[in-house]
Amino acid sequence: MAESNAVVYVTILEWDSELINNQAVYKLVPKGSLIGQLLPRYWLRQKQIDTEMVKFEATEHGKPIITQSSVPLTYNVTHDSDMVAIACGAGEPVGIDVMKIALPRRTSMGEFIEFVSDQLTACEKEALHPRAGNEATRLLRLYRMWTIKEAYTKALGEGLGYDFARIEYDVLEGTVTVDGEPPSGWDIVSFLVQHATDTYVISTARRTGEGHVAIFDLKDAPKGLVQFIGVNILAECLIPSLR
């Protein structure tokens, strides 16, 4: 991965019951949404940037952005089930997506693939065909594809109107193309995170501007990129400043 100030913070929603009872804010905001608000503020604290000196806004497509900062800052937040994550950058476009590897309730593998089939390319559908592997293999492939598509489009800031079928992740070759061509100047990283009996896929996309595309398909979180932050640390550091 190209050298940068990029970092990914991951929080797993394991809540301290005493802390929850003592903090009324937890009763007012959904947990995933709350952590999604706290993580960027935690990141700013780590960079020794006063959160009162910046402004959190959104683009016309709804992508959160930081304005009125003395240094370039970019970030993107995602959450699914018990995991919340943020990708942070130094001004370059960044996107992130996380998905727990599990079929939706009362949905078969075939039904799930059919539901998203209009967002997949012919190559991707072939890699998800029953003859291409067992259900666990194909489900992991599908979530790799989907989170990469999500991360890339979120980095672009295009919103929900972007056609995911324009993006192809060839899981067998380990390549990503957009409109049939490699997305020049991008780092795309996909990795797995284990929590209890669950496995999550996290994918990130970052515009490097270096005229190349680098794809990393990993089994574990890459060292130096990912930091795990406890819920209590976020609460202790940030909730007092938000009152």
SS (H, E, C) the chain: CCCCCCEEEEEECCCCHHHHHHCCHHHHCCHHHHHHHHHHHHHHHHCCCCHHHCEEEECCCCCEEEECCCCCCEEEEEEECCEEEEEEECCCCEEEEEEECCCCCCCCHHHHHHHHHHHCCHHHHHHCCHHHCCHHHHHHHHHHHHHHHHHHHHHHCCCCCCCHHHEEEECCCCEEEECCECCCCEEEEEEEEEECCEEEEEEEEEECCCCCEEEEECCCCCCCCEEECCHHHHHHHHHHHHC
Per-residue pLDDT reduced to its tens digit, 125-145: 999 999 999 999 999 999 999
pLDDT tens per residue, range 138-176: 999 999 999 999 999 999 998 778 999 999 999 999 999
Reported as a single tens digit per residue, the pLDDT across 22-38 is 454 444 345 667 788 88
pLDDT at 80 over 70: yes
Domain ranges of the chain: 7-242
Name the least confident of 195-204, 215-224, 231-240.
231-240
Question: Which class in CATH covers the domain with range 7-242?
Answer: alpha beta
Q: Is the pLDDT assigned to residue 88 strictly greater than 50?
A: yes
What pLDDT sits at residue 32? 66
Q: What pLDDT is recorded for position 237?
A: 60
